[in-house]
Amino acid sequence: MDRAVCAVVAIALGACLTGGRLDEFLVLSSVVTVIVMVLPAGLLVAVRTTRRRRAQLVP
């Protein structure tokens, strides 16, 4: 998995560097990073909330 992600990033970086758009690559990579970090955090909150509700239902 790690190699596949690195390969995709290398291709994207190469394409941006060839076109002289390094700033576009940096913005895109930061947006993707934020999205990838927010999704697991949201799932974690949802799982914890569900567990708390289930724990309150059990006498």
Query: 23 lies in which domain range?
Result: 2-57
- For the purposes of burial, counting CB atoms within 10 Å of the CB of 12, is it exposed (0-12), middle (13-18) or buried (19 or more)? middle
Evaluate if residue 58 carries a pLDDT over 80: no
- The whole model's pTM is what? 0.64
pLDDT for the residue 56: 87
The per-residue pLDDT for range 26-49, each reduced to its tens digit, is: 999 999 999 999 999 999 999 999
pLDDT for the residue 49: 92
CA distances from 15 to 2, 8, 25, 43 (A): 20, 11, 9, 33
What total number of domains does the chain contain? 1
